[in-house]
């Protein structure tokens, strides 16, 4: 009899965890180098999946998104990127620096100027987001410079904090 109660509790816990994992939060592992120095490979992130049901992404948010190039696949790869510009912003990469609405951005989270080519000014369409990795060394980040802007529907959630390793625990 004891094992039946234990089994019921475990099944209920798994159902609740499954619902929370599908709709509320997720744990994601950083793969690759596109977000260095902010995030490094194998760090685990707490992903808030509810946040964008209540408000839209803001400049500086670190988000998890479906890879726009592979989005036709139901199991498309996930990417982690930073929101650089939002709908209505004019973004330009000039002299290896980011300019939003003609103002040079002070990006304290990067460790080098942009190694890739400059990009002419473009206006981010309303309801779209321009995202980049924090690793600005040449060719190190597959981001909006390659695949263009993204829609809210492509965003899985916001990375709120690093949960593992414990020595790196921090809010993002």
Considering the candidates 73, 77, 81, 120, report the single residue annotated as catalytic: 81
- DSSP letters, 20-89, are HHHHTEEEEE--SSTTTTTS-TT-EEEEESSHHHHS---TT-EEEEE-TTSTTSTTPPEEEEEEEEETT-
Cβ-Cβ contacts under 8 Å for 123 (sequence gap 6 or more): 88, 89, 90
77 is catalytic: no
Nearest-5° Cα angle at 126, 123 to 132:
60
Q: Which of the following is catalytic: 8, 22, 34, 120?
A: 34
* DSSP state at residue 152: G
34 catalytic residue (yes or no): yes
Distance (Å, whole) CA 34 – CA 41: 9
Task: Please give the positions annotated as active site.
Answer: 34, 81
């Amino acid at each position: 009899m004891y094992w039946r109660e234990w089994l019921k509790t475990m099944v209920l816990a798994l159902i609740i965890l499954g619902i929370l994992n599908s709709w509320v939060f997720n744990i994601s592992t950083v793969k690759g180098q596109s977000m260095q120095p902010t995030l490094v490979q194998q760090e685990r992130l707490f992903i808030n999946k509810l946040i964008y049901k209540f408000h839209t992404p803001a400049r500086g948010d670190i988000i998890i998104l479906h890879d726009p190039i592979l989005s036709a696949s139901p199991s498309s790869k996930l990417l982690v990127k930073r929101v650089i510009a939002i709908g209505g912003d004019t973004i330009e990469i000039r002299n290896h620096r980011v300019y939003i609405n003609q103002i040079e951005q002070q990006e304290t989270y990067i460790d080098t100027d942009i190694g890739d080519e400059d990009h002419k000014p473009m206006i981010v369409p309303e309801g779209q987001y321009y995202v980049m990795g924090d690793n600005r060394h040449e060719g190190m980040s597959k981001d909006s410079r390659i695949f263009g802007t993204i829609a809210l529907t492509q965003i899985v959630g916001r990375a709120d904090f690093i949960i593992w390793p414990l020595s790196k625990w921090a809010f993002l």
